[in-house]
Structure 1
Amino acid sequence: MLYSQLPFSLKNTETRASKYLIFLKQLLRTKLIQLLPNKLHINHYKSILILHRKNLYLTTQKPLFNWNPYNTNYNPFYQVNLPITIITPIKIINYNLILFQFPKIDLNGNIIINGLKKTYISRFKRTDGFYFTTITIRGQIIYRIFLIFNYHFITIDFNSMTYKLQIWNGQNKIVVDFICFLHFWGCTNKDIISYSRYGNSFILSQILKQTYSNYDSIWSHSTSYCNNLISLTNIFSLNSNWNYLYKLKHPITPIFKDKLNNLFGSDIRNQLIFLSKDLINLLDLLFDFKFTPKSFPLNNNFGNQKLESIIDIIINQIPIIINKRLQNFINYIKINHSISLFNTTKFIPNFKELFMINPLIQYLDQINTLSEIMHKMKLTKINLKPTKDITLRDIKRSELGKLCLIDTNEGFNSGLIVYLPQNILQNKFGSLETPIKKLKSEDKNNFSDTLHSLNQEKTAIQLTKISTRKNLIFNNLNSVTIFKNLLDLKSNKNWLNSFLPQTSFFSLAENFIPFFFYNDPTRSLMGSKMQMQAVPLIYKQNANIITGNEQILSRKNSNLIYALQEGIVTYISSYKIIIRDLYNREVSYYLNTYKFSNQNTFQHNFPLVWVGERVTWGQLLAVNQDFIGSEFSIGNNLFVLYGSFLGYDFEDALIVNKTLINNNLFSSLHMDIYEIPFELSTNKCLEFTSNKIPKYSSYVKRNLNSFGFIKEGSKVIENDLLWAKCTFNKLKYTKESLQYFLFILFGSRLRNIKDTSLSIALGHSGRVVKIEMIIDKKLLNQTQYLKLRFFIIKQRLLEIGDKLWGRYGNKGVLAHIAHSADLPYTENGLYPDIITSSIGVPSRMNIGQLFETLIGLNCFYTNTRFWINNNLNSYFGANYLKILLYNYLKQGALLTGYNFNSYSTGKISFRDGRTGFPIKGACLFGCSLYMKLIHMIKDKIHYRTIGPYSSVIQQPIKGRSKKGGQRFGEMEVWALEAFGAAYNLKELLSIKSDDIQGRFNLQEYLLYNYNLTKSSIPEAFHLLMTELKGLALNIEAMTYSDENDQLRSIHTSFLPSK
């Protein structure tokens, strides 16, 4: 692994940190100076409030390097302070006014609110520039160009029938003739003809003649018309002193300038001036749009959009907050005649409420490292408008290389929530650019240039190569190219100058899937989604087949620890690494230990270096639980058999070998945190702890120390005490005589003892790894003076109902755990780890899944790993991968000695593990990578043998906290009906429901061996009959008599009693 930083990452540290520093140093200060007035008048001009805008400064609280995510009071923020002076008739007061507070954004792009990390889902917004459209008014076609810059909206209209050319501003309702506006700038008709490409055309001559003929009517209203010209010129001008031609200084945004250069080429134009020649060129564009409209990019071209960051949200809310803050300050002075308490916390506005309710600011998905990075690379095409255009879901050709072609949300938001590709770059204007490789450059392996969407239409880009086998003579590799937004097949390479690899079209999660181009795209989408939901395992392995992108994730991940300088490692422990650099300085790197994510998965850092090793700048020093070395690994290589086993493989169910559980191959760690405070209020006495607290058994208190709380390293199960604590409540008597009588009777004052102990919740267990004792020195919460926090790590083993999956969307629920002796085995004694149904492969067109299984078996035999390009056939011919697969299988056959049959590729004969007889036919057997999803059965289903019933409706109580059972719903009843489990169904609907008599009779039968009577009809059934009668439906039970061929009603014992 080369120790080099990858610049082509939108979420890399340098991009985020530089933008945030610019915001703190320049943007915020400039915005505040523009919004704040110099002075304000108070009390009918009796007092004056002077604002010292240029003396603004930021302050912040002391950073907490070891803050815990469970600390819900931790909200890092910046505070904007404004020095002000209040001049009254009596005295002059200098005061430091706190304008507002806004949350900090760390170097990883996260916002920490209430101790939990959040991230912002970027959305697209229109950039400054010019946009073309046509409208029809009274049968006349009007060609229109919109100019958007510096929050101004200018429109130029051209009527092709009346040759009327106007420029107008809809905000100020100003309409001016465009040629007259150019004359006002100092451009003569000769200048317009010489600079315009349509100088000798009939259409421009007609427009100039019409403007000349309309001058009489214009100068008849010269005063108002000149005011409109001056107002419109001030929109373009930096100052009120306007000049002419190239000496003009008119503001233009850098994005607008780049778009002009893209169409007209570079000029001597300064970045911040608007030349008259530019307006003449825009006039030419308007004529071009009339005659050749297809040559213009669409208004929804991806090059006309940029990403909105969280900095934009803060800037947009600043004007509202400042106006409200200053108005409240003036009203506060008028009412209270004092300013001493105005800077208290409850009066200071902050963005916390906005960040809590904004749907685009979400809790960070931290299931694993990949999910965290992909969550930050998520984008939305939806604006704040409620309408969702169906065309937003389409993939435009200008989005090639800018957005992932496959990765999106499933369901209603499909195509609206998208992801960035693996290689992407955001320029200083907020627009996205794609790194490309120059074919004619010396270094063809690295990216050498970037490509914008507007420049992409003028660049010939080679995508891939395809072998066309028409005959033996013309069998060559042709290049798939994109030029002018059209896909084509070219064999000539001389005119190609750029190459865009396949990884630039797909996200990082998609590029992790080997043989990606041999799968159904919907299954690839599921595979990428499930990679972001995979749980980090305790014991994991590197994948046998990789794509080479697994190490790239370590360079894009900012949670890992890299060396900041060259040096020698002098000390290593589980929490710290010390390096002595070239200047003989010791630099300490602290590792994250015993941390947990927003999804309660365990996070821990492990060092990769050793004492005495020489490290270079950028070298990886420590990784987290998702990596082995510098490679992303969250699964295990298992033997997979595609077949059937006792019917347990129905649909997508899996049969698992019990050795996986014995070896803890799919065991994961999760963390629970319990917190309990010491409280003191007016009606309570002090709380105290002791391990001799009554009411609890000695077994529950076995892990407590002498102070009454649990020891570190103790193994705890449900209902075990973590902290034995109680308090005394003062009893209030209505009469003092009663209190005096009780004192004489008992000899002491009676107290009400309340148990406030903390115990493990139901269904939870684990080991106590850490205990924190927190003392509030500032006494912010006066009722709590001490707080204890217990960190408990629990190990989740593989259970029936858990979900396992491969990288191709082939997920399945664990249905049966079988012993190795019962499973089929091969001739050389290999047992399958997983048995899955073979029907799921052809129905989902996962050919890449079979490739990984067969080549993975060869990797196991040869003890090698396979680094493969996803599109091998495009480079070496149509059948190259097939030939390579046969060669690998033949190599494995020579090493193991089993018979290789080229007509049934990869199929192996098996013997039954229970009898030892050969199984008829052969089955596909190989080695593939499997992982465990976070959707574990223990979080979903809970069961109990006995439990409480509701006193009103006599139904079993639901909910784990109430010791209730799992709800047995309609679909569960259908499952029992399908299996024919009539007795179970009868018990569930009668004695296990609200049949009180039947339940009591069953209890007597089990305890005292009484006779078991028939169960009666439950009350729920009587209620159903009553509700059906309300619908005018009468249901009766009838019996048939063979003697007189008559039906007889038995409704007296069937219907509910009155």
Structure 2
Amino acid sequence: MSSKNTERICFSSREGQFEYPDFLGVQLKSFGEFFQLGTTPENRKKEKLYKVFTDNFPITDTRNNFVLEFLDYYIDPPRYTIEECIERGLTYSVPLKAKLKLYCTDPEHEDFDTVIQDVYLGTVPYMTERATFVINGAERVVVSQLHRSPGVFFGQSIHANGTKLYSARIIPFKGSWIEFATDINNVMFAYIDRKKKLPVTTLLRAIGFESDKEILEIFDLAEEHKVSKTSIKKLVGRKLAARVLRSWVEDFVDEDTGEVVTIERNEVIVDRETTITPDHVDQIVDSGAKGILVHKDDTSQSDYAIIYNTLQKDPCNSEKEAVVYIYRQLRNAEPPDEATARDVIDKLFFSDKRYDLGEVGRYRINKKLGLETEMDVRVLTREDIIRIIAYLIELINAKTDVDDIDHLSNRRVRTVGEQLYTQFGVGLARMARTIRERMNVRDNEVFTPVDLINAKTLSSVINSFFGTNQLSQFMDQTNPLAEMTHKRRMSALGPGGLSRERAGFEVRDVHYTHYGRLCPIETPEGPNIGLISSLCVYARINDLGFIETPYLKVKDSKVDFSNEGVVWMSAEEEEQKMIAQANAPVGKDGYFDAPKVKCRYEADYPFEDIANVDLMDVAPNQIASIAASLIPFLEHDDANRALMGSNMMRQAVPLINAEAALVGTGLETQVIKDSRILHVAEGDGVVEYVDSNKIVIRYTRTDEEKFVSFDDDVKHYVLPKYRKTNQNTCINLVPVVKKGEKVRKGQVLTEGYGTKNGELALGRNLKVAFMPWKGYNFEDAIVISDRVVEEDVFTSIHIDEYLLEVRDTKRGLEELTSDIPNVSEEATKNLDENGLIRIGAHIKPGDILIGKITPKGESDPSPEEKLLRAIFGDKAGDVKDASLKAGPSLEGVVIDKKLFTRAVKDRKAKAVEKPLIDKIDEEFTKNIEELEARLVDKLFILVNGKTSQGVKDYLNVDIIPKGSKFTLKQLQEIDFLNVNPNKWTTDKKKNDTIKQLLHNYIIKYKEVDGVYKRKKYSITIGDELPTGIVRLAKVYIAKKRKIKVGDKMAGRHGNKGIVAKTVRAEDMPFLEDGTPVDIVLNPLGVPSRMNLGQIYETVLGWAGQKLGLTFSTPIFDGATMEQITGYTEKAELPRYGKTYLYDGGTGERFDQPATVGVIYMLKLGHMVDDKMHARSIGPYSLITQQPLGGKAQFGGQRFGEMEVWALEAFGAAHILQEILTIKSDDVIGRAKAYEAIVKGEPMPQPGIPESLNVLLHELRGLGLSVILD
């Protein structure tokens, strides 16, 4: 039981691995930043949860009399521990509370006092330290979503007639979409929300570019000339760029109101695009126009033809007309007045409340259009719109390129925090609405913030997100790697994302920006391929939601290996950079050893001079995800098989006797460390006590740490024993330290659940021969030695949980009991008085696990019956058996049982409760007083003799005014839960100690408070159970599964197969020294699949086993053939593992040498015991009366169309008729057949199948009369 880590021999060409970021950082950091719990209210950033509150508050009533203001939020400790939640089927959540302030601004309400209250807003599921959420007793994970980043996108499409159409789409965080697009006539339109269409110039007029002159000036397209006869004569032959208008004002009387209204009129004298002739001169002069616009004589005219074409289509001539026109388009109605119309447009794109580009959107737009707009301008500006139109015109004239929508600078990640932000936004907006309504209703009464708030509103939104959202998923918990991968998954599906059906090839494809960000290998096979990906090992997500990957700076062909030399880059920042590979030859001095190195430049891979290199990869495995990085010699495998390999490692079941791989990649320790599954020493210390259930360690701490702490130096670790995972595998941790052993910080204390010596251990190392064996390993089948079965090499434990609920039905209360009507004593001998089976009982199919009776609904008994019943007690007929019985394939041992009961409320119970509660209250008060006294003593030591710098509470009210001396009495009177820990004295070091002391006090106070509440709760309410359930019984059954024929096994290189035969060890092929091999694989599975990694692994593994060494061969930087050969020679093994084998049956030598070695094999979760199924009779479908399908429904085997053809081909008419009628859906026939079998009579004639009746009814439904003769 050594806790030492066996040092692996590493083949990496680079010394000193660049440190991996925390693998769960994606989840933990995002959730932590959302709640911002580590910061005090005044230091909180105005974002995430805080922003949700500030967006919705303050809330006022319709008359603006009352104002509800938000001051701060905080959370209380969870009511139950994570383990209790999993046991009882509860959600691990924390109560969210907000400090709200209600005041009145109306002078009439003088009696209304300002109220500040802490208001309960509901419970919020809280993330565990392993980055999971416990929802209704099941661990779930919120998967990050890859979606289209807000910003502006330029694209092109081709019209049916071959014309190229260009478009620019502005996608905001929230608000209306606006799209600018060209049509086949070279006119530019703006589409609002994809439906309302208007010429772009109309939109420009509406946002303040009123006249043609202003619009043309934006793009510098026209020159203005004053109107006079001489000047216009000079312009004859030039084209007009804008209309010449005659404007006048008319007065008329409004018939409804009798008012005189003045109205502006315009008449077109000469239209735009007209060539000026001498005839026009007088017309223009007479029009009274001040100036005219003519086209400039330069070449850019043709580029901007689209603007002129659009002006031609534009129905409006002024801002007012444009505003009214847009209003009509949007609302399909006339605007009541101009102000209303203008308001609608402003609200669409220029209002903070309705439109938000988000920080990301603003950043992307600035970047794309080269703008300098401030980052806090989250709405569109006039400048944005103009620049987008100008960019679009450049695009039309092929002066710039369209965007690549699959480039990772156009896709961003929505992590847990952001998804919760959205949900809280929805919940609080609903809450604000109800608050406003309640304020309006309670106008005259006195009310407080608590009266206004309904806590269910927020909870229901958050709970439905965790319960039903596509991205909140039941955690894949088969083994530690499966957990880890699930938490690091990126999905393009989900709300606001793509759907499987609509996603084409381009979205799913590997893009060059995926390098170091998304793994090109690990993605599911099947319909989700490419839509679900995994984060690379070094990737992290930046504040804007883009995936970044690290590089080393290269300056003047010298690589900077220091910490300052590391730069993290998003896909966008990486553009136009020349990046060298991680294994480029670099000397000790940091200079490249070769004049040219292989590089990556955007989508290209040039061989470049070292002088031009900007960056260098940090590690060769930067390109792959965790699972792919765990496959040794990945570089020798075909990508398709590597994909299967990385997916199958997630299905490996944890074995009882696991073993770390002899040939690993160096990532095995990191995965386990970051998965936080094992217990790890928090500091240096000594083991005081250890058994299989708990470890006790006394940590050595400095005096300073002891001073600010309220805890003892001793820490207890409780180890999970035989705990069921989501996938029914088993977590069972055992200690690896001894009593009295000294431990160092970070040392692993336990092992189990797919780990060994702190390394990932999913399978076992087996002696393998690649050769055929009597045809039993044909087509990927596997032959194993019985040693593997007998020595429990691939034995795993699986735990099933069976539960039965006791409900209060209309007919009376159900009951758990071992006294079940019409059941023999033999069948109930293992049940206790509550009807639960005893721990240790061996279960066979059909056994009763939990006995339950439920009342039968009967007709009312007669008076005589009532009398008899009163005398002799109830007869058995009143209840029916509703027990839980073991299914047809369940065999195992009962390892645990639990019974949860709600507290029963009656007078007696209340009398018993009161003294118990009083005792708990007393104990709580005593504990808190002791805790506070310790705090005051410690504080007084720090501040004795000092003057206060103004100790305040959270509302900025002075507690100890500035300048006054600290006294013990003052300190004793402070409410420490509501005191600001900052700036107590002038001494900075003391202030930090005070801050830490108060922080630790609050943690300890909440811990004591939590324990107190839980004790009190268990007395008053009992076990918290879902509504309608009175009791809940659970039984856990463990199944020990050895490997057997039909189980699926796989290596790490996508080499999977089914066990076809278990052979006696003495019959297996053996080596020259008499060692029989453990497993025989088919050599034909290698060449066509091109996964040669397994051969390299086999050969190196054999050398490792012989020499007692373990290796780490990082991907793309692993052992070379020469290095492997070096070790095989050292171990005196044949080169390439090719050796002669001998037939175990005859002892003769086989003709040809075969490859032999040690391969790492896994047992996968597809086990034959779960799939084996047979049915004689069982349930039938309601309408067609055909047997159901599948093991879960206890269904039959479908005899389909092709199978019918097979029997028809043989002319087996009677068998076929029997299969299609009696064995399927001839209802009368099957009943008669049963009778005939029981009585031993000949089989009856089959009748009409029910499906024929279904067809007849269908036809009748169509109004056709069908009569069968």
SS in 2 for 1:669: strand
Q: 1:801 to 1:749 in 2, by over 3 A?
A: closer
SS in 2 for 1:176: coil
Deviation at 1:310, TM superposition (A): 3.5
Deviation at 1:845, TM superposition (A): 1.3
Q: 1:202 to 1:729 in 2, by over 3 A?
A: closer
Structure 1 residues 485-494 or 728-737, which shifts more?
728-737
Deviation at 1:841, TM superposition (A): 1.0
Deviation at 1:992, TM superposition (A): 11
Q: Are positions 1:674 and 2:707 aligned together?
A: no
The equivalent residue for 1:1048 is none
Contact 2:151 2:364 (C-alpha < 8 Å) held by counterparts: no
Q: RMSD value over aligned CA atoms?
A: 5.8
The equivalent residue for 1:717 is 844
SS in 1 for 2:461: coil
Q: Are positions 1:739 and 2:866 aligned together?
A: yes
SS in 2 for 1:842: coil
Q: 1:148 to 1:714 in 2, by over 3 A?
A: closer
Task: Find the aligned partners of 1:4 and 1:769 in 2 and give their Cα distance.
Answer: 45
Deviation at 1:381, TM superposition (A): 3.0
Task: Find the aligned partners of 2:1217 and 2:657 in 1 and give their Cα distance.
Answer: 44
Task: Find the aligned partners of 1:182 and 1:230 in 2 and give their Cα distance.
Answer: 26
Aligned counterparts, 1:432-511, within 5 A: 432-438=547-553, 440-441=558-559, 443=561, 448-463=566-581, 479-490=597-608, 492=610, 495-511=613-629
Q: 1:715 to 1:220 in 2, by over 3 A?
A: closer
Task: Find the aligned partners of 2:1219 and 2:550 in 1 and give their Cα distance.
Answer: 65
Per-residue displacement from partner, 1:897-955 (whole Å, max 9, x unpaired)? xxx5x6xx5333233222333333333322211111101111111247x7779999999
The equivalent residue for 1:582 is 701
Contact 1:303 1:454 (C-alpha < 8 Å) held by counterparts: yes
2:657 pairs with 536, 539, 550, which one? 539
Q: Are positions 1:176 and 2:209 aligned together?
A: yes
Per-residue displacement from partner, 1:972-1023 (whole Å, max 9, x unpaired)? 979999xx9x9x9999969995899999999899xxxxxxx9x979738x86
2:763 pairs with 635, 641, 645, which one? 635
Contact 2:577 2:602 (C-alpha < 8 Å) held by counterparts: yes
1:371 pairs with 482, 494, 513, which one? 482
2:52 pairs with 31, 36, 43, which one? 31
Residue identity opposite 1:838 in structure 2: P
When normalised by structure 2's length, the TM-score is: 0.64
Aligned counterparts, 1:203-282, within 5 A: 253=359, 256=362, 272=376
Q: Are positions 1:766 and 2:783 aligned together?
A: no
Contact 1:648 1:816 (C-alpha < 8 Å) held by counterparts: yes
Contact 1:733 1:739 (C-alpha < 8 Å) held by counterparts: no
Deviation at 1:508, TM superposition (A): 0.9
Contact 1:544 1:866 (C-alpha < 8 Å) held by counterparts: yes
Q: 1:577 to 1:158 in 2, by over 3 A?
A: same
Aligned counterparts, 1:985-1024, within 5 A: 1019=1246
Aligned counterparts, 1:776-787, within 5 A: 776-777=902-903, 778=1021, 784-787=1029-1032
Percent identity over the alignment is 22
Q: 1:333 to 1:164 in 2, by over 3 A?
A: closer
Contact 2:850 2:885 (C-alpha < 8 Å) held by counterparts: yes
Q: 1:141 to 1:956 in 2, by over 3 A?
A: closer
Task: Find the aligned partners of 1:717 and 1:161 in 2 and give their Cα distance.
Answer: 78
Deviation at 1:729, TM superposition (A): 6.8
Q: Are positions 1:121 and 2:119 aligned together?
A: no
The equivalent residue for 2:951 is none
Q: 1:229 to 1:651 in 2, by over 3 A?
A: same
The equivalent residue for 1:1046 is none
Task: Find the aligned partners of 2:465 and 2:1124 in 1 and give their Cα distance.
Answer: 56
1:316 pairs with 406, 418, 422, which one? 422
SS in 2 for 1:486: coil
Task: Find the aligned partners of 2:153 and 2:1191 in 1 and give their Cα distance.
Answer: 59
Structure 1 residues 644-653 or 289-298, which shifts more?
289-298
The equivalent residue for 2:242 is none
Aligned residues: 956
The equivalent residue for 1:305 is 411
When normalised by structure 1's length, the TM-score is: 0.75
The equivalent residue for 2:333 is none
Contact 1:83 1:97 (C-alpha < 8 Å) held by counterparts: no
Deviation at 1:506, TM superposition (A): 1.2
SS in 2 for 1:398: helix
Per-residue displacement from partner, 1:604-654 (whole Å, max 9, x unpaired)? 333344434444444433344111112111111112222223322221111
Aligned counterparts, 1:86-165, within 5 A: 102-127=124-149, 129=151, 131-132=153-154
Q: 1:1018 to 1:655 in 2, by over 3 A?
A: farther
Q: 1:320 to 1:457 in 2, by over 3 A?
A: closer
Deviation at 1:314, TM superposition (A): 3.7
Residue identity opposite 1:910 in structure 2: L
The equivalent residue for 2:1081 is 836
Deviation at 1:708, TM superposition (A): 5.6
Q: Are positions 1:791 and 2:1036 aligned together?
A: yes
Higher-RCO chain (CA-CA 8 Å, sequence separation at least 6): 2
SS in 2 for 1:19: helix
Per-residue displacement from partner, 1:548-570 (whole Å, max 9, x unpaired)? 11122123313333333343333
Contact 1:534 1:932 (C-alpha < 8 Å) held by counterparts: yes
Structure 1 residues 514-523 or 566-575, which shifts more?
566-575
Per-residue displacement from partner, 1:766-789 (whole Å, max 9, x unpaired)? 222223232324267686554432
Contact 1:541 1:634 (C-alpha < 8 Å) held by counterparts: yes
The equivalent residue for 1:380 is 491
Q: 1:729 to 1:161 in 2, by over 3 A?
A: closer
Task: Find the aligned partners of 2:509 and 2:552 in 1 and give their Cα distance.
Answer: 27
Contact 2:143 2:489 (C-alpha < 8 Å) held by counterparts: yes
Contact 2:166 2:396 (C-alpha < 8 Å) held by counterparts: no
The equivalent residue for 1:1054 is none
Q: 1:528 to 1:987 in 2, by over 3 A?
A: farther
Q: 1:970 to 1:666 in 2, by over 3 A?
A: farther
Structure 1 residues 255-264 or 357-366, which shifts more?
255-264
Residue identity opposite 2:534 in structure 1: Y
Q: 1:762 to 1:346 in 2, by over 3 A?
A: farther
Residue identity opposite 2:1034 in structure 1: R
Residue identity opposite 1:372 in structure 2: E
Per-residue displacement from partner, 1:956-977 (whole Å, max 9, x unpaired)? 9977789x68637569979999
Task: Find the aligned partners of 1:141 and 1:826 in 2 and give their Cα distance.
Answer: 71
Contact 1:464 1:479 (C-alpha < 8 Å) held by counterparts: no
Q: Which has the higher helix share?
A: 2
- The unaligned stretches of length 5 or more in structure 2 are 6-15, 39-43, 191-198, 224-297, 324-337, 586-592, 707-712, 904-1020, 1224-1228, 1257-1267
Q: Are positions 1:556 and 2:801 aligned together?
A: no
Contact 1:9 1:424 (C-alpha < 8 Å) held by counterparts: no
Residue identity opposite 1:967 in structure 2: Q
Task: Find the aligned partners of 1:434 and 1:378 in 2 and give their Cα distance.
Answer: 16
Per-residue displacement from partner, 1:367-416 (whole Å, max 9, x unpaired)? 11111111122222345455324321222222222111122221222222
Contact 1:143 1:158 (C-alpha < 8 Å) held by counterparts: yes
Contact 2:81 2:92 (C-alpha < 8 Å) held by counterparts: no
Aligned counterparts, 1:857-1006, within 5 A: 857-872=1102-1117, 881-892=1120-1131, 894=1132, 900=1134, 905-943=1136-1174, 967=1197, 969=1199
Contact 1:774 1:786 (C-alpha < 8 Å) held by counterparts: yes
Task: Find the aligned partners of 2:151 and 2:1181 in 1 and give their Cα distance.
Answer: 70
Q: Are positions 1:827 and 2:827 aligned together?
A: no
Q: 1:861 to 1:968 in 2, by over 3 A?
A: farther
Deviation at 1:60, TM superposition (A): 7.0
Q: 1:684 to 1:129 in 2, by over 3 A?
A: closer
